[in-house]
Amino acid sequence: MKQKLHEIKERVKDKKWAPAFNAIHTFLYTPNEVTHKGGTHVKAADDLKRTMNTVIMSLVPCLLFGIFNAGYQHFGAIEGLPQDFSLFEHFITWRNLVVGLTTVMPLLIVSYGVGLAIEFVFAVIKGHEVEEGYLVTGMLVPLIVPIDTPLWMLSIAVAFGVVIGKEVFGGTGMNILNPALTIRAFLFFAYPTWMSGDKVWVHGAVDGLTKANTTDAISGETILGYLAQNKTDEMTYSLSEMFYGFIPGSVGETSTLLIALGALFLIFTKIASWRIMLSAVLGALAMGLVFNAVVDLGWIQSYSKFYSLMAFDFWKHLIVGGLAFGIVFMATDPVTSSQTNRGKWIYGFLIGFISVMIRVFNPGYPEGVFLAILLMNVFAPTIDHYVVQANVKRRLKRAQHAKIYPVNEPAHLETQTV
């Protein structure tokens, strides 16, 4: 198989669409080329493409969970959620799988189809190899949008995100903003009615399916949505449901457990930075603690519109909404995050900090993590600049205070011994 692919590759080498073929060829196999005629230096397999594949593997559990959860939420909204929940009776069932596949798969196919088509076109025009950056973006996009996002909207957003978010800067590795989040931000500002509110998170809710023969339309409000409207009493989800992810939300971001598993996998394979993840968690906890303290000190009254979100236990911020997903898979994007170790701590901390701040202070944006990450993407180079400058200053200072011994000392010693 590998040899055959190599032969085809040799044949199309000078054709114009060679990059398009090369992209497929090196997807899973190491290229046959060696750097040296003697064959001593094989080109390493852990290139960018392999990195991307690792991230995709860590996303698969979230995708599978999202597929089942789509069906679970859909039927839960129609028939009411089951009283005594059992994983295999109510969650991993054929009908959930069918609903999930028919709703999630089109999102995935459109995301990859449109995005890769644009990547291939740009590669052929500019005459370089197809860049692998879209592999992960294409997987992330369906996971961070509401389940019933119309496909034409998604394709416009993907085209916008890939062209304006990435290609205008020079393609993979040159982009300032995370392309997946650019796509989400575009959707959010262009079609706000499809991206927030209580009608978009459950499949079928927009069409107004009726709930078990009553005339109530399906309402699939997210937990943050309840909190933003001060409707804490109406929220019936338990803590374990929030953690395991049996709640309405964007397709793949509900299960904190599986996101944490993905995070461990990424840290273990040294693909993503644990510094960013840890500092972002700390940032979110810090901001949450500040808000909790404000409530405990009685500085805010319960009729305030911020009260529910401020009183929300600080550590629970991590298990609701897209914060965990954003921290693990978006903030750690090696291209758009800070590059220096100290910079990563600052960058991550501010992402967590600002995310929770946007959540609480802007009820119009129940989830602020994507805005926080985009904002810090813009500041990442500035953070790096000051970290590097601080290091330069520190070392200059050390050099100034250093004792410089006379250079002729060894010679002097020598003459003595002689």
The secondary structure of residue 368, as a DSSP letter, is -
Cβ proximity of 321 and 224 under 8 Å: yes
Q: If we measure between CA atoms, which residue out of 114, 102, 169 comes closest to residue 138?
A: 114
Q: If we measure between CA atoms, which residue out of 55, 366, 392 comes closest to residue 235?
A: 366
Q: How far is the CB of 242 from other proteins (least distance, A)?
A: 31
Q: How far is the CB of 133 from other proteins (least distance, A)?
A: 20
Report the run of H or E that residue 109 belongs to, with start and end: helix 94-126
Beta bridge partners of 210: 217
Nearer residue to other proteins within complex by CB, 57 or 156? 156
- The dihedral over CA atoms of 254, 259, 261, 266, expressed in degrees to the nearest 10, equals 160
Report CA Rg, the chain: 26
Nearer residue to other proteins within complex by CB, 72 or 365? 365
Nearer residue to other proteins within complex by CB, 150 or 173? 150
Binding site for other proteins (CB under 8 A): 150, 152-153, 156, 164, 168, 186, 189-194
Q: If we measure between CA atoms, which residue out of 32, 23, 27 comes closest to residue 4?
A: 32
Q: How far is the CB of 190 from other proteins (least distance, A)?
A: 4
Nearer residue to other proteins within complex by CB, 72 or 186? 186
Indicate if the alpha-carbon torsion angle 23, 25, 29, 35 is positive or negative: negative
User: What values do phi and psi take at 172, rounded to 5?
Assistant: -55, 135
Cβ proximity of 174 and 162 under 8 Å: no
Q: How far is the CB of 165 from other proteins (least distance, A)?
A: 11
Nearer residue to other proteins within complex by CB, 33 or 207? 207
Q: How far is the CB of 368 from other proteins (least distance, A)?
A: 18
Q: How far is the CB of 220 from other proteins (least distance, A)?
A: 20
Nearer residue to other proteins within complex by CB, 120 or 191? 191
